[in-house]
């Protein structure tokens, strides 16, 4: 398997440090405001990577921090009067619920900064002992000029970075590039004890400390959005390797930018879309498919019209899977051409995933496989054995992509269906929603046989209003939830 390493700027063969085990750290949320569609794009991408590695037989240890100490949190609490502990917990809990609905597998650890202050101060002390950090009246800073490899991840040289510094540096810093490891404070709403007095950690040191605490060794993969490359990930490398004297991470992966109407999301532009808003308009499957139709490193523009087409694509996928299941029983005839072509498409899906997770091409192979299977379904002598193999392969592909078939649970519609049965004066009394639906389907079929198309159409229409779509197929009537 090859992955594009942001550090080397090249595609590299993926070889974890320990055979069969992958340690992956993904930068988590700063929970001061609702999770947005950009967050979701990144976490869906790494979810697919995790799922694919799992299917390949790797044990994946996934760490995703919670940055519950940060300037934006303090600013929001000062503006609103909110308690920082309550705010961060509520925002993160909401985000986790949304990520779960988006079929994102949970991380193995969600460490909070507030619960690991000792780990952070110990790492800062190690940096200072190795003479990469220094203390001033305002805090503890990392001496960037002493770290010879600084800038390698972002591809910038020191002089260029100096020229790009926008903010006035703290007066007691040695260089404008030096960044805070620990900020000294007095009476702030978020501050902690340390060897240097009351204060709070800098943003970058938090991830280094948590990666060390939970990763326990050099990371195989460190991920996040592209905008974290500099300064956040650049600083993580510097302070981690300065403190530990060993490589921090072997593979750096970054997702591309997500825009809305061609522009970066911004509340001031009125194009800021929360994940909750997106999921109120689109199903989780459609949103995931939309994200995965672009390569994870490519830019992506949020488009609600394209999302509507994704809904149709999802429906085609699961309709095809359902039809294949129905055709698996019975006498099977060997179709060598179908077997060769379908086997080749299955191989293509995995070949694309092996090549830096090329999901657009992998999804195209999936749809080609389904179209081929649909053609086989109409054959006079279908190769049912191979159709079963295709169905199993498709289900595994869908798991890797995180596309989940909606369970056909209609019990919540029992009252409406039973009332409709009674309205039509059907004598049988249904014991469940499924029974009621089957009685209504039978009643509609009787109406069709007697050419009472008005009644037949009325039953179909009323069922749709209840939330059930009826489809007439050569092999019989099928139904699905809206």
Structural contact between residues 391 and 342, judged by C-beta atoms closer than 8 angstroms: no
Exposed / middle / buried, residue 369 (Cβ in 10 Å: 0-12, 13-18, 19+): buried
Q: Given pLDDT bands bounded at 50, 70 and 90, which one contains residue 358?
A: very high
Question: Is residue 450 domain-shared with residue 325, that is, in the same domain?
Answer: no
Distance CA 252, CA 11 (A): 11
Q: 296 lies in a domain?
A: no
Q: Is 77 a domain residue?
A: yes
| Mean pLDDT value across the chain | 94
Look at the chain and report how many structural domains it folds into: 3
Q: How confident is the model at residue 160 (pLDDT cuts 50, 70, 90)?
A: confident
Half-sphere exposure of 143 (CA within 13 A, CB side): 15
Mean pLDDT over 269-291 rounds to 93
DSSP conformational letter for 18: B
Are residues 87 and 6 part of one domain? Answer: yes
Looking at residue 332, what is its pLDDT? 85
CATH code, domain with 120: 3.40.50.620
One domain for residues 380 and 447:
no
- The reply to whether 96 and 206 lie within a common domain is yes
Asked whether residue 320 falls in the same domain as residue 436, the answer is no
Q: Is residue 274 part of a domain?
A: no
213 with 234, same domain?
A: yes
By the 8 A CB rule, do 156 and 144 touch? no
Residue 393 in any domain: the answer is: yes
Find the mean pLDDT for residues 273-281. Answer: 94
**Position 475 in a domain:** yes
Q: Find the mean pLDDT for residues 97-113.
A: 97
- Distance CA(353)–CA(169), nearest Å, equals 45
205/81 same-domain check: yes
Write the pLDDT tens digit of every residue in 427-475. Answer: 898 989 989 999 999 999 999 999 999 999 999 999 988 888 888 877 6
pLDDT value of position 136: 97
Domain membership flag for residue 281: no
- Judge whether 268 lies within some domain: no
Q: Which has the higher per-residue pLDDT, 348 or 468?
A: 348
Burial of 150 (0-12, 13-18, 19+ CB in 10 A): buried
284-323 pLDDT, tens digit per residue, is 999 999 999 999 999 999 999 999 999 999 989 998 998 9
Q: Would you state the pLDDT for residue 482?
A: 65
pTM confidence score: 0.86
Is the same domain home to 25 and 150?
A: yes
Going by pLDDT thresholds of 50, 70 and 90, the confidence category of residue 403 is: very high
- Banded pLDDT at 409 (limits 50, 70, 90): low
27 pLDDT tier (thresholds 50, 70, 90): very high
Q: Are residues 107 and 194 in the same domain?
A: yes
* Contact in structure between 479 and 437 (CB atoms under 8 Å): yes
Residues ≥6 apart with Cβ < 8 Å to 308: none
Q: How many CB atoms lie within 10 A of CB 199?
A: 23
374 and 425 inside one domain: no
Per-residue confidence (pLDDT) for residue 407, from 0 to 100: 63
Domain boundary among 401, 424, 456: 401
* Average of per-residue pLDDT across 114-128: 98
User: How many Å apart are CA 191 and CA 467, to the nearest integer?
Assistant: 53
Confidence (pLDDT) at 168: 55
Indicate if 316 and 439 belong to the same structural domain: no
> In the prediction, which pLDDT does 477 show?
83
Q: Is the separation of the CB atoms in 120 and 192 below 8 Å?
A: no
Distance CA 8, CA 30 (A): 28
Residues 396 and 405: their CA atoms lie apart, in Å, by 12
The pLDDT score that the predictor gives to residue 165 is: 62
pLDDT at 164 over 90: no
| Residue 362 confidence (pLDDT) above 60 | yes
Rounded Cα distance between 473 and 454, Å, is: 20
Asked if 157 and 187 sit in the same domain, the reply is yes
Which pLDDT belongs to residue 9?
A: 97
pLDDT at 384 over 80: yes
Note whether 438 and 425 are within 8 A (CB). Answer: no
- pLDDT of residue 139 exceeding 70, the answer is yes
Q: Which range marks the domain in which residue 452 is found?
A: 411-481
- Of the residues 364, 380, 401, the one at which a domain ends: 401
CATH number for 344? 1.20.120
Looking at 193, 227, 255, the residue that finishes a domain is: 255
Query: Would residue 74 count as lying in a domain?
Result: yes
């Amino acid at each position: 398997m090859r992955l594009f390493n942001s550090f080397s700027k090249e595609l590299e063969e993926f070889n974890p440090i320990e055979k069969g085990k992958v340690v992956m750290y993904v930068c988590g949320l700063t929970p001061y405001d609702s999770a947005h569609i950009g967050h979701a794009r990144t976490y869906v991408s790494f979810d697919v990577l995790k799922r694919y590695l799992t299917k390949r037989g790797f044990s994946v240890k996934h760490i995703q921090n919670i940055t519950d100490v940060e300037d934006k949190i303090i600013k929001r609490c000062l503006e609103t009067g909110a308690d920082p502990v309550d705010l961060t917990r509520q925002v993160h809990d909401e985000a986790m619920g949304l990520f779960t609905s988006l079929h994102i597998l949970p991380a193995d650890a969600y460490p909070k900064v507030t619960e690991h202050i000792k780990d952070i101060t110990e790492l800062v002390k190690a940096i200072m002992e190795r003479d990469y950090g220094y203390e001033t009246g305002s805090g503890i800073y990392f001496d960037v000029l002493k770290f010879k490899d600084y800038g390698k991840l972002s591809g910038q040289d020191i002089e260029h970075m100096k020229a790009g510094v926008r903010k006035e540096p703290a007066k007691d810093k040695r260089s404008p590039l030096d960044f805070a490891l620990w900020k000294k404070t007095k009476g702030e709403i978020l501050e902690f004890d340390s060897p240097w007095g009351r204060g709070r950690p800098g943003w970058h040191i938090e991830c280094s400390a948590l990666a060390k605490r939970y990763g326990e060794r050099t990371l195989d993969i460190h991920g996040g959005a592209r905008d974290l490359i500099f300064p956040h990930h650049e600083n993580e490398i510097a302070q981690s390797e300065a403190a530990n004297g060993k490589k921090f991470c072997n593979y750096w992966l970054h997702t591309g930018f997500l825009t809305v109407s061609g522009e970066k999301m911004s509340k001031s532009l009125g194009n800021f879309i929360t994940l909750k808003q997106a999921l109120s308009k689109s199903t989780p499957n459609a949103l995931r498919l939309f994200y995965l139709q672009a390569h994870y490193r490519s830019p992506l523009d949020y488009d609600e019209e394209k999302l509507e087409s994704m809904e149709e694509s999802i429906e085609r996928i699961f309709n095809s899977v359902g039809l294949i299941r129905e055709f698996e029983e019975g006498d099977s005839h060997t179709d060598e051409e179908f077997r060769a072509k379908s086997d080749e498409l299955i191989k293509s899906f995995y070949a694309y995933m092996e090549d830096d997770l090329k999901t657009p091409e992998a999804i195209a192979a999936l749809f080609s496989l389904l179209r081929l299977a649909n053609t086989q379904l109409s054959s006079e002598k279908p190769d049912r054995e191979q159709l079963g193999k295709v169905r199993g392969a498709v289900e595994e592909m869908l798991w890797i992509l995180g596309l989940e078939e909606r369970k056909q649970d209609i019990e919540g519609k029992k009252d409406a269906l039973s009332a409709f049965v009674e309205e039509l004066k059907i004598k049988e009394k249904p014991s469940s929603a499924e029974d009621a639906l089957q009685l209504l389907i039978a009643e509609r079929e009787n109406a069709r046989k007697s050419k009472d198309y008005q009644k037949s159409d009325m039953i179909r229409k009323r069922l749709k209003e209840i939330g059930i779509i009826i489809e007439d197929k050569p092999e019989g009537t099928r139904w699905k939830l809206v």
